[in-house]
């Protein structure tokens, strides 16, 4: 299957313009079009904690990410499928991307065994043994009804890797990619072109440039609709991550969408967009939001739980057009909500933070 192009008759990614490394384009999914560069907020368990779909849409979000690992464990893809798939289940009618579960298996699951077949781990809450493989990850994501499906990869975190383990993960990731594309084709062969989900491959290689280059070449010559860069921002110094993005920029296939996984710090998003990246996802805006941390103009962070905001009448950011700031919610009020554990606090600041990242993407789209 190597070297074959996807069978879509309409282009999945359309490059509109590129200036100084920044690309403006459109991704066409079966659930609609997405203007890029784009930030995807994360709804881990099929919800963006504390936000309604109307609130999410009002931030300018065009596409969200749901987590395969969590949804496989609860409620299980068969339940979601019987309720009509993720779009029916969540009532979110714009595009949905699902990750493959790989990253969570290695970061959250109690991994028992990794072989070429797949990964066996224990569900951290029930203790039940669970098996995930490239084929299984494709079946789960197709059953969930995802619009963009991610390949299942072997992930090595910076903290626990040895050189041997890294090379093993590298080899396995590419072997698994081939199995993912094969299984994906089998599962989607009867779907009309307009109803087929997309499959993205993931390039790994840690901070080793030759491995990264090799991985990217393998992924880009595979039968995938888009290419993702995984395994960055996992604890390495920012400078090293940026150097890698710099190195990879000229190597991407310009005809495919480029997705940098798990990145959501404004400074990193800006650097990545200036180096050919089109898509991002991150839990930061919602996680920070629930803890009272907000980004404000200049990519600075403020902590709303701080005592100095107790009698502060100003909104989070005067320049912000999000629901929370436009409605005039004062910092003093938000601080109070956090202090008494009102869940509204997390919702209001999450709205602001997601809007902040979406606005950065809008700013970059307007530049090219």
List residues with catalytic annotation: 99, 281
Part in contact with Zn ion (CB under 5 A); list of ranges 88-96, 225-233, 324-332, 342-350:
324-332
Chosen residue from 320, 334, 349, 360 binding Zn ion by CB under 5 A: 320
Residues 248 to 307 in contact with Zn ion, rule: CB under 5 A: none
Part in contact with Zn ion (CB under 5 A); list of ranges 56-64, 83-91, 188-196, 346-354:
346-354
d(CA 253, CA 3): 13
Name 149's bridge partners.
98, 199
C-alpha distances (whole Å) from 33 to each of 36, 200, 359, 362 are 10, 16, 18, 15
Does 360 help bind Zn ion (rule: CB under 5 A)? Answer: no
In eight-state DSSP terms, residue 309 is G
Between residues 324 and 358, which has the closer beta carbon with respect to Zn ion? 324
CB of 362 to Zn ion, least distance (A): 14
Between residues 203 and 325, which has the closer beta carbon with respect to Zn ion? 325
Does 354 help bind Zn ion (rule: CB under 5 A)? Answer: no
Does 325 help bind Zn ion (rule: CB under 5 A)? Answer: yes
C-alpha distances (whole Å) from 227 to each of 40, 143, 258, 353 are 16, 22, 5, 26
Part in contact with Zn ion (CB under 5 A); list of ranges 148-156, 193-201, 216-224, 315-323:
315-323
Does 137 help bind Zn ion (rule: CB under 5 A)? Answer: no
Contact 177, 212 (CB under 8 A): no
Does 212 help bind Zn ion (rule: CB under 5 A)? Answer: no
Within 13 Å of residue 319, how many CA atoms lie on the same side as its CB?
8
CB of 90 to Zn ion, least distance (A): 24
Does 155 help bind Zn ion (rule: CB under 5 A)? Answer: no
Tokens 């779907």, residue located? 191
CB of 262 to Zn ion, least distance (A): 24
Please state whether 156 falls in left (phi above 0), alpha (psi between -120 and 50) or beta: beta
For residue 40, the Cα-to-chain-centroid distance in whole angstroms is 6
CB of 93 to Zn ion, least distance (A): 25
Between residues 256 and 352, which has the closer beta carbon with respect to Zn ion? 352
Residue 256: how many other CB atoms lie within 10 Å: 22
Size of the site for Zn ion (CB under 5 A): 5
CB of 109 to Zn ion, least distance (A): 36
d(CA 184, CA 234): 28
d(CA 365, CA 155): 32
CB of 330 to Zn ion, least distance (A): 12
Between residues 137 and 320, which has the closer beta carbon with respect to Zn ion? 320
Contact 229, 241 (CB under 8 A): no
Part in contact with Zn ion (CB under 5 A); list of ranges 93-101, 159-167, 199-207, 323-331:
323-331
Chosen residue from 322, 334, 348, 349 binding Zn ion by CB under 5 A: 322
Residue 351 structure tokens: 């709205």
d(CA 105, CA 176): 15
Does 352 help bind Zn ion (rule: CB under 5 A)? Answer: yes
Binding residues for Zn ion, rule: CB under 5 A, are 320, 322, 324-325, 352
């Amino acid at each position: 299957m190597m070297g074959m192009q996807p069978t879509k008759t309409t282009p999945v990614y359309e490059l509109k313009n590129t200036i100084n490394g920044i690309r403006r384009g459109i991704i066409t999914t079966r659930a609609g079009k997405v203007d890029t560069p784009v930030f995807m907020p994360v709804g881990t368990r099929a919800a963006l904690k504390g936000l309604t779909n109307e609130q999410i849409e009002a931030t300018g979000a065009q596409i969200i990410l749901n987590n395969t690992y969590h949804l496989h464990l609860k409620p299980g893809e068969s339940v979601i499928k019987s309720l009509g798939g993720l779009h029916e289940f969540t009532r979110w009618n714009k595009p949905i991307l699902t990750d493959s579960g790989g990253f969570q298996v290695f970061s959250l699951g109690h991994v028992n065994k990794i072989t070429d077949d797949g990964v066996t781990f224990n569900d951290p809450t029930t203790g039940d043994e669970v098996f995930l493989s490239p084929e299984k990850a494709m079946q789960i994501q197709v059953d969930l009804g995802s619009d963009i499906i991610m390949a299942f990869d072997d992930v090595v975190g910076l903290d626990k890797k040895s050189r041997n383990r890294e090379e093993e993960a590298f080899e396995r990731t590419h072997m698994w990619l081939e199995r993912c594309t094969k299984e994906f084709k089998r599962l989607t062969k009867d779907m009309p072109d307009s109803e087929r989900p997309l499959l993205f491959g993931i390039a790994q290689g840690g901070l080793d440039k030759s491995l990264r280059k090799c991985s990217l070449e393998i992924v880009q010559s595979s039968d995938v609709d888009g290419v993702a860069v995984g395994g960055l921002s996992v604890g390495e110094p920012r400078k090293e991550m940026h150097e890698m993005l710099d190195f990879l920029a000229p190597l991407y296939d310009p005809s495919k969408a480029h997705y940098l996984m798990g990145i959501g710090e404004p400074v990193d998003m800006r650097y990545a967009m200036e180096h050919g990246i089109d898509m991002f996802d991150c839990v930061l805006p919602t996680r920070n939001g629930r803890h009272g941390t907000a980004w404000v103009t200049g990519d600075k962070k403020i902590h709303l739980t701080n005592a100095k905001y107790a009698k502060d009448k100003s909104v989070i950011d005067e320049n912000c057009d999000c629901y929370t700031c436009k409605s005039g919610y004062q910092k003093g009020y938000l601080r109070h909500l956090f202090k008494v554990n009102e869940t509204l606090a997390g919702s209001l600041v999450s709205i602001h933070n997601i809007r902040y990242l979406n606005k950065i993407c809008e700013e970059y789209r307007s530049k090219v």
